[in-house]
Amino acid sequence: MTTTARSAASDVKNLSLAAEGRRRTEWAERSMPVLRLIRERFTRERPLAGRRLSACLHVTTETANLAVTLQAGGADVALCGSNPLSTQDDVAAHLVKDHGIKVFAIKGEDHASYYEHIRAALAHRPDITMDDGADLVGALHMVALNRLDDLAPPVRRWVETLSGADRQALVAGVAGSTEETTTGVIRLKAMARDGVLQFPVIAVNDSDTKHLFDNRYGTGQSTLDGILRATNLLVAGSTVVVAGYGWCGRGFALRARGAGANVIVTEIDPLKALEAQMDGYRVLPMAEAARVGDVFVTLTGNTHVIRVEHMRAMKDGAVLANSGHFNVEIDLDGLRQAAQGPTRVREFVDEWRLGGRRIFVLADGRLINLAAAEGHPASVMDMSFANQALAAEHVVKHARELTKDVHRIPRELDAEIARLKLAAMGVAIDTLTPEQQKYLASWEMGT
């Protein structure tokens, strides 16, 4: 590991970056008024006092504001990255140096370092875990189910040093967990369905104030931002193929169209495909879209959505990017076998030669918005992380009643976050009159 600031309590790139991380984190904080209100209440009430919390999140300026909020609530926080390319090294340094938070994350870390950092977060012996993609919870469950061969080597080697009782205590010590993203929630629901989930999990992604805004407007804007920072391509007049018309896909399609692209959507769900068609996009199977697209972006949460057979049909110079959680949406292993390359032609841009044509893959197929840009704007993460902070508090308050299942935070809290966000934006709305309340509750009245 090539780090200059490694200790038992942290592993970050360079502590001297802390001042810049602090400046950027404070800038993000200005756009996070809802989280600020929660932090002020947490400081007074200390709902997480005495709790050890391990978080596996993208280490960005917004996450820094969440970590500080959790710490203000009394939690002893350890943070590792949820993607090898998404860490902002200056922010990691700031959290360690200015807040004494244990951070294990370095931008560009290799596979072994990534899992060594997950190990460090587990070794914090959390009462609460907070995931973005279920990597922490996934590892804990491999320990619970004694499937040590399924653990990445750095985690497995450490778990093997623990006694049976110690391993049990590691899992039993977790009162509950929270999950940030669609992909993680899908994995957790599968665990619950198979009856193996060991503790309750709050699916933060299922809150309306999360996926309706973060996935749609956050991913929409920041994905375009990532592609532009990586390539500086002109969007106007180009053909952009959007794979997946879920929350993220809708947001990105909207922004690509707004920037002047001709947008094509690919889908596997008839309802979503119909929605895309009626929203005015062209809907095609990937095999056909491959022939006409200039830029391809996957936002499905699925695997091998763009395969070599598609890449062979693409135009010379096609650009491929992914903004789904894992780097499996573009079949890079297949590309590696079929093509020559890569040649790094620009930061975050790899050129591959396939049948005499060039294919450009951005950021190794990892989340382009976090790898090449800065992730979502703080204003939208304000709501996502307000949900995270309230979800952690909910786990602590209700650990005994919550079943070992995937839950959402109560709808009243979700609505309260929306109310606070509107208030912070200076947007007022109407309230029901008594007559309207009665009308909406009655069934007798007609025309």
Ligand X SMILES: NC(=O)c1ccc[n+]([C@@H]2O[C@H](COP(=O)([O-])OP(=O)(O)OC[C@H]3O[C@@H](n4cnc5c(N)ncnc54)[C@H](O)[C@@H]3O)[C@@H](O)[C@H]2O)c1
Note whether 211 binds ligand X by CB under 6 A: yes
Residue with Cβ nearer ligand X (35 or 243)? 243
Q: Return the residue nearest ligand X (CB atom).
A: 246
Report the C-alpha gap between 125 and 244 in whole angstroms. 38
Residue with Cβ nearer ligand X (242 or 409)? 242
Tell how many helices (H) and how many strands (E) occur in the chain.
20, 17
Give the orientation angle of helix 182-193 with respect to helix 135-144, to 10 degrees.
20
Residue with Cβ nearer ligand X (17 or 243)? 243
Backbone φ and ψ of 71, nearest 5°: -65, -40
Note whether 248 binds ligand X by CB under 6 A: yes
Backbone φ and ψ of 106, nearest 5°: -140, 130
Angle at 79 between CA 163 and CA 198, to 5 degrees: 50
Residue with Cβ nearer ligand X (248 or 335)? 248
**Closest approach of ligand X to the CB of residue 243, in Å:** 5
Note whether 302 binds ligand X by CB under 6 A: yes
Note whether 245 binds ligand X by CB under 6 A: yes
Note whether 181 binds ligand X by CB under 6 A: yes
Member of 55, 201, 367, 378 binding ligand X (CB under 6 A): 367
299-307, 350-358, 415-423, 430-438 -> range binding ligand X (CB under 6 A): 299-307
Note whether 421 binds ligand X by CB under 6 A: no
Note whether 384 binds ligand X by CB under 6 A: no
How many C-beta atoms surround the C-beta of residue 340 within 10 A? 10
Member of 41, 52, 157, 272 binding ligand X (CB under 6 A): 272
Q: In what helix (H) or strand (E) does residue 361 lie, and over which residues does it extend?
A: strand 357-362
Strand arrangement, sheet containing 295-298: 282-283, 262-266, 239-243, 295-298, 318-322, 357-362, 349-354, 340-346
Q: In what helix (H) or strand (E) does residue 53 lie, and over which residues does it extend?
A: strand 52-56
How many C-beta atoms surround the C-beta of residue 315 within 10 A? 14
94-102, 154-162, 301-309, 404-412 -> range binding ligand X (CB under 6 A): 301-309
If binding means CB under 6 A, how many residues of this protein chain bind ligand X? 29
Member of 241, 305, 321, 417 binding ligand X (CB under 6 A): 305
Residues making contact with ligand X (CB under 6 A):
181-183, 211, 215, 219, 243-249, 266-269, 272, 299-302, 305, 323-325, 367, 369-370
